[in-house]
Structures are given as structure tokens and as C-alpha cells.
């Protein structure tokens, strides 16, 4: 006779929900948002169905709707005009720049919204790289100085948390010291600690025109500073360094193909962990759902719950708004 039957706790939805280990809520989501110049402007991103570039006024409207749905955090990216790009990234800390104006507008309209601007030079670079280039190489330390100036500028505009995604060595310390010296000790740092050189970023780069340029004597990819996807132990090395330098939250990117890294880091640290459900992951689900190969809503919720199960606390996802609508139903 069988005395122990695991199926007793799966008999119906009420029992299943009673013993459920991980619960997905709208509090888990951070919505990445693309911003463009202009007024009352909106452009669809073909490789990311349902995602748009918006001018500041429409971005504010979107943030109000997100907050009403329970999504309380946004991650900002700028579509920078070509004439503002150079090899220094100086537009990134322009106090009247598109990013700074966007931060101020969102915080004025939705003060309780947590605003996390992206900190990286690639949208501002003529080369499409995350760093300043000299003689065909990425200058790590000079880039850190630029990132620190960028972060202080974001803090001055009202950012709650800055999110360096560049993967330069030592940049968390440079940013932390700059924020402290400028009187922004309460501004947090969400560090992209384990960011892999991945093929899953394609739709994002097309959305911002931020891919490395192919026709220049520069690195054709980001493998000299982003992590090798063959490696696992290296992720912990990166995470520990960023924690020592003052990071408040640790990011792992991409998401679904890297759940093993999320789990490994979760076992090793106590800080909050963020994971990025990146553009390529979003595009795959949307393409399959549009072809009738997957159930859109069920696949979204299952995918996002996987991040929670692996140990993530925050989920950066382009599904945030749609998932919030599903959960609210």
C-alpha cells in the first residue's frame, strides 16, 4: 500500500495554490522603456511586437498606466539623435538631455514610480560600444569616469537607482564614490554584474541603433568586456567584486537561457537579484504565439515565474504591462 502520495497536494487549484512555493506579482516587474525625441510621437519596433519608442509626453502617459496596473518600476533607454553621438559620450550627462528630461517628467507625474535609468555609453557612441575607444580598444578607466558623470547627472534629475550595464571593471566603485561625493548617498546602484555577450540582444540593439558599427576599425562585438557565455564560475567573481564596490542589487542578463546562473548566484549572496528577460526572449515568445504555436498568456506567466523559482527578486521584462493585465484579471 502506498502511504505517501505527492498527488494529494495537486488535487485541485485551491490545494495547489495553498502549497505553491513561488508567487508572481506585479511588484516583481521592471518595465524597460524606449524614449525618442519629439512630441506626441510613437514608433513601433518591428522585432518586438507591442513595444514602442515614445516621446517624453507619451512615455509619461505610459508610466501612469503602468503604475495603475501595479508596475512600479521603469528602466529607461534613449534613442539618441545621430548628431549628438561622439566618442566621449558627453551627451549622456547633459543636464538638459533627453534622459534627464525624461527622468524629471516621470518623477513629476508619478512621484512613487521607481526610475532606473540605464548607464552605458553605447546609445551615445558613434561606434555603438559601451566605452570610449582609442586605437581600436575600449578604454576601461576613462569610460568609468564618463559613467560616473552620467550617473550623477541621472541622480540630479531625480533617478532613484542607476543601472550601469556596461561591464567595465571597477565602474561600480567609481559610480558609488561619485554619488557619495555629490550628496546622493540614497541613490542605489543596480549593477549588471553578470552580463553575457549574447545573441539574444538583437531586437534591443535595433530599437536603439546601438549595435557596434561594422565598417570601422574597432571590435565588431562586445566580447572583450561582456562575459563569455561558456562560463559559469566567472559570474560569481563578477558579482563578488560589484558587491565589494557598493552595488545594492545584482543583475544577471540574459534571463531564460541563464537560469543556472541566477540559481548559482542566489545560493551565494543575500543581496536582491535582478534578471533581465531580454528582447530576444520576448521576440521568440511573441513570434511563436502569433503563429499559434504557443499560448501567449500562459507562456508569459510560466516564463516569468521561472525567474522567481530560480531565485530572482526583480524581473526586467518587456512583458511587464501585459503580464500585469493577465495577473490583474
Among the listed residues 85, 222, 253, 321, the single catalytic one is: 253
Tell me whether residue 267 is annotated as binding: no
Domain membership of residue 309 as a residue range: 24-328
Cα gap 190→167, rounded to integer Å: 12
Options 195, 264, 286, 321, the catalytic residue: 195
* Residue ranges of the chain with per-residue pLDDT less than 50: none
Residue 109 domain flag: yes
Q: Is residue 264 part of a domain?
A: yes
> What total of structural domains would you count in the chain?
1
195 among known catalytic residues = yes
253 classed as catalytic: yes
Position 218 scores a pLDDT of 74
Classify residue 47: in a domain, yes or no.
yes
Identify the pLDDT of residue 131: 92
pLDDT at position 208: 66
Residue 136 pLDDT: 86
Q: Which pLDDT value is given to residue 209?
A: 65
pLDDT confidence of residue 236? 97
In a domain, 250, yes or no: yes
What number of other Cβ atoms are within 10 A of residue 244's Cβ? 10
Report the CATH number that the domain containing residue 210 is assigned in CATH.
3.20.20.70
304, part of any domain: yes
pLDDT score at 210:
61
The dihedral over CA atoms of 257, 260, 264, 269, expressed in degrees to the nearest 10, equals: 40
Amino acid at each position: 500500500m502506498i502511504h505517501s502520495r505527492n498527488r494529494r497536494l495537486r488535487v485541485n487549484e485551491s490545494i495547489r495554490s495553498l502549497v505553491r512555493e513561488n508567487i508572481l506579482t506585479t511588484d516583481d516587474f521592471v518595465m524597460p522603456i524606449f524614449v525618442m525625441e519629439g512630441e506626441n510621437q510613437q514608433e513601433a519596433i518591428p522585432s518586438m511586437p507591442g513595444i514602442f519608442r515614445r516621446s517624453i509626453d507619451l512615455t509619461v502617459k505610459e508610466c501612469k498606466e503602468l503604475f495603475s496596473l501595479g508596475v512600479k518600476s521603469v528602466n529607461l533607454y534613449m534613442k539618441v539623435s545621430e548628431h549628438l553621438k561622439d566618442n566621449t559620450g558627453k551627451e549622456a550627462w547633459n543636464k538638459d538631455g533627453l534622459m534627464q528630461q525624461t527622468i524629471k517628467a516621470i518623477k513629476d507625474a508619478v512621484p512613487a514610480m521607481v526610475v532606473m535609468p540605464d548607464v552605458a555609453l553605447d546609445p551615445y557612441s558613434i561606434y555603438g560600444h559601451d566605452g570610449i575607444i582609442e586605437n581600436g580598444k575600449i578604454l576601461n578607466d576613462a569610460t568609468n569616469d564618463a559613467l560616473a558623470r552620467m550617473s550623477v547627472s541621472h541622480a540630479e534629475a531625480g533617478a532613484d537607482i542607476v543601472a550601469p550595464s556596461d561591464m567595465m571593471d571597477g565602474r561600480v566603485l567609481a559610480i558609488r564614490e561619485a554619488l557619495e561625493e555629490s550628496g546622493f548617498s540614497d541613490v542605489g546602484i543596480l549593477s549588471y554584474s553578470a552580463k553575457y555577450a549574447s545573441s539574444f540582444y538583437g531586437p534591443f540593439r535595433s530599437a536603439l541603433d546601438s549595435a557596434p558599427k561594422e565598417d570601422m576599425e574597432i571590435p565588431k562585438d562586445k566580447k572583450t568586456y561582456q562575459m563569455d557565455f561558456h562560463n559559469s564560475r566567472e559570474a560569481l567573481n563578477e558579482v563578488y567584486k560589484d558587491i565589494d564596490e557598493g552595488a545594492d542589487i545584482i543583475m544577471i542578463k540574459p534571463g531564460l537561457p541563464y537560469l543556472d546562473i541566477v540559481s548559482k548566484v542566489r545560493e551565494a549572496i543575500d543581496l536582491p537579484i535582478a534578471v533581465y528577460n531580454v528582447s530576444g526572449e520576448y521576440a521568440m515568445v511573441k513570434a511563436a504565439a502569433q503563429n499559434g504555436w504557443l499560448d501567449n498568456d500562459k507562456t508569459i506567466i510560466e516564463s516569468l515565474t521561472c525567474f522567481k523559482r530560480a531565485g530572482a527578486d526583480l524581473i526586467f521584462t518587456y512583458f511587464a504591462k501585459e503580464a500585469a493585465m493577465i495577473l490583474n484579471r
